[in-house]
Amino acid sequence: MPDPSENWGVTMLKLNRELDKEKVLGTLNHNRIYVFLVIVVILMSIGAPGFMRSSNITPMLKTSLLPILVGIGFSYVMIGGNFDLSVGAMINVGALMVMGEFNRFYAIFGGEPAGAGAVVGAWIIAFLIALAAGSFFGLINGLLVAKGKVHSFIVTIGMLTTLSGFVYTYSKGNTISANSYLLVDIIEKPLLRVPYLEFFTMRSIITILVLVFFELLLVKTSWGRGLFMVGSNKEAAWQAGIDMERKLIWTFVISGFTAALGGILFATSMNAAVPNYGERGINPLMLVLASTIIGGTVMTGGSGSVVKTAVAVITIQAIFNGLIGMGLGFDTQVLAAGVLLGSVVLYEAYVLYKQSLRKGERPAMLPEAEELRHKHRA
C-alpha cells in the first residue's frame, strides 16, 4: 500500500484550488437571480424597443407587486420544507372578502350620506377581516401539516379546492366592486409625477415595507435562523431544542396572510374582485413557484430569501414584458417561463446528484485517488 502522506502537500494544494473554484461557483449560484436579472434586462433592452421606457417599466413593476407579496409566504413555507399550493385561492379570498365586507360595513355605517368617516371605518374593518380570513385558512393548513402530519401537498390542494368553492359561494360567482372610489384614488396614485418614479404608490410602498419586514424576520432574528435549521435538518433542530411544529404552523399562517394581503391590495387598486382570478392567463401559483425556485430557495427547505424571490418575480415579468415587446405572444411567455424553471430545477437536481455520488467518500484516500486518476488517464 503506497504511503498517502508522500504527496500530501501537492494534492492538498490541488484540493484547495478546487475548493476555491467551488466556493466562487457556490457564491455565484447563491446570487444567480441578480445575474439573471441583469442578463434579462440587457437582452430585452437590445431586443425589445422601448423596454427601458418609464411607460413600460412602471406597469411591469406594478404587475409584479401581487406575486411579490404572495412569494413572501410561499418562500417561508418552502424554507420550512413544505409547499403551499393554496396561495392562488388565498388571493381570491383576500380580494373578494375585502370588497364584500367593505360594502357590508359601508352600508351599515350609513353609506355615502355618512361621509368620509364611514368609508375609512368600513375599509379598516374590511382589511382586518380579509387578512384574518387568509391567516385563519393558513393556520388550518399549518395545523394539518405540523400536528396532523399530513403531506403539505395534500393539505394545501384540499385547501385550494375548498377555498375555490368558498369564494364562489361568497361572491355568488359575480364580480364585486366597492361602492366607493375613495380608496382606489389614494392607493394607486403615483406619489411623484416623475418618469421612472411613478411606480411609487401607496400600494407599492406597502409591498416594499412588508417585504423588508419579512426579510429581516427571516435573516436577522433568531426566530428566522431557527426556521432555517428546521427546514435544513429537522433532527438537528429538534436536538437543539427548537419548537419545530410551531415554526411550521407560523410559515403557513404567514403564507395565508401575505397571499390575502396581495389579493386585498390588488382588488383595491382595481376597485373590483373576481372569483376566478388566475384561472386564465398565467396562474399566479405557477409564477410564484417558479420565482421562489429560481430565486434560490432550496426545494427541500433550509435555504432561501424573500427578497431574492421578489427579484425573481421581476425577472420573469421582465421576460414576459420583453417578449411582448418583441411581438411574441402569450404562448411564448409560458414557454419561456417553463424553460427557465426547467433548467434551474435540472441544475439543482444535478448538484444534488453530484453531492450524493461523493457521499461516504474517505477523505484520507483522496490524495491517492488523485494520483490514481493521473496514472489511469495516462
Partner 1 sequence: MGESAFALQMNEVSKQFPGTLAVNKVSFEVRPGEVHALMGENGAGKSTLMKILAGSYADYTGEILIDGKPVQLHNPHQAKSEGVGMVYQELSIAYNRSVEENMFAGNIPTKGIFVDQEALRKQALASLAKVKLEDKIDPGTEMKNISQHESQLIEMAKVLNDNPKILVMDEPTSALSSTEVQMLFDIIREIKKQGVAIVYISHHLPEIFEVADRVTVLRDGKKIDTCDIKDVDNKTLVEMMIGEKIDDFVRSGDSETGDVILKVENLTHYGFVHNISFQLNHGEILGIVGLAGSGRTELGRCLSGADKVDYGTVILDDEAITVKSMSQMLEKGIAYLSENRKTEGLALRLSNKNNILSSIISRLSRFFFFLPKKGTPILQDQYEKLTIYPHDPEITTSNLSGGNQQKVLLAKWLSTKPKVLILDEPTRGVDVGAKKLIHETIVKLAEEGLSVILLSSDLPELVALSDRVAVMRQGHLIGELKKEDGFDENKVLLAANGERGVFSVEY
- Residue 218: CB minimum distance to partner 1, A: 11
Which of 222, 354, 356, 378 contacts partner 1 by CB under 8 A?
222
Q: Locate the DSSP E strands across the chain.
A: 176-177, 272-273
Our finding on whether 366 is near partner 1 (CB under 8 A) is yes
Residue nearer to partner 1 on the CB measure, 213 or 330: 213
Our finding on whether 349 is near partner 1 (CB under 8 A) is no
Residue nearer to partner 1 on the CB measure, 240 or 346: 240
The x, y and z cell numbers of residue 315, run together, are 425577472
Our finding on whether 296 is near partner 1 (CB under 8 A) is no
Our finding on whether 369 is near partner 1 (CB under 8 A) is yes
Residue nearer to partner 1 on the CB measure, 3 or 331: 3
Our finding on whether 9 is near partner 1 (CB under 8 A) is no
Query: Nearest-CA neighbor of 255 among 65, 67, 72?
Result: 72
For residues 362 and 86, the answer to whether their CB atoms sit within 8 Å is no
Which residues are 272's β-sheet partners? 177
Which of 67, 100, 302, 322 contacts partner 1 by CB under 8 A?
302
- Residue 355: CB minimum distance to partner 1, A: 7
Which residues are 176's β-sheet partners? 273
Distance in angstroms (rounded) separating the CA atoms of residues 251 and 77: 5
Which contacts (CB < 8 Å, 24+ apart) does range 165-172 have? Answer: 166/89, 166/93, 167/89, 167/92, 167/93, 167/96, 167/275, 168/275, 170/96, 170/97, 170/100, 170/275, 171/96, 171/100, 171/273, 171/274, 171/275
Query: Nearest-CA neighbor of 350 among 25, 24, 10?
Result: 25
Q: Which residues contact 126 (CB under 8 A, 6 or more apart)?
A: 97, 98, 99, 100, 101, 102, 105
- Site track for partner 1 across 226-245, x = CB under 8 A: x-xx-xxx-xxx-xxxx---
Our finding on whether 360 is near partner 1 (CB under 8 A) is yes
Our finding on whether 277 is near partner 1 (CB under 8 A) is no
Residue nearer to partner 1 on the CB measure, 61 or 218: 218
Our finding on whether 368 is near partner 1 (CB under 8 A) is yes
Our finding on whether 295 is near partner 1 (CB under 8 A) is no
For residues 36 and 294, the answer to whether their CB atoms sit within 8 Å is yes
Residue nearer to partner 1 on the CB measure, 26 or 342: 26
Helix residue spans in 31-151 (DSSP H): 32-47, 54-79, 87-108, 116-146
Our finding on whether 31 is near partner 1 (CB under 8 A) is no
**Contacts to partner 1 by CB under 8 A:** 1, 4-5, 8, 19, 22-23, 26, 216, 220-222, 225-226, 228-229, 231-233, 235-237, 239-242, 298, 302-303, 355, 357-358, 360-366, 368-369, 372-373, 376
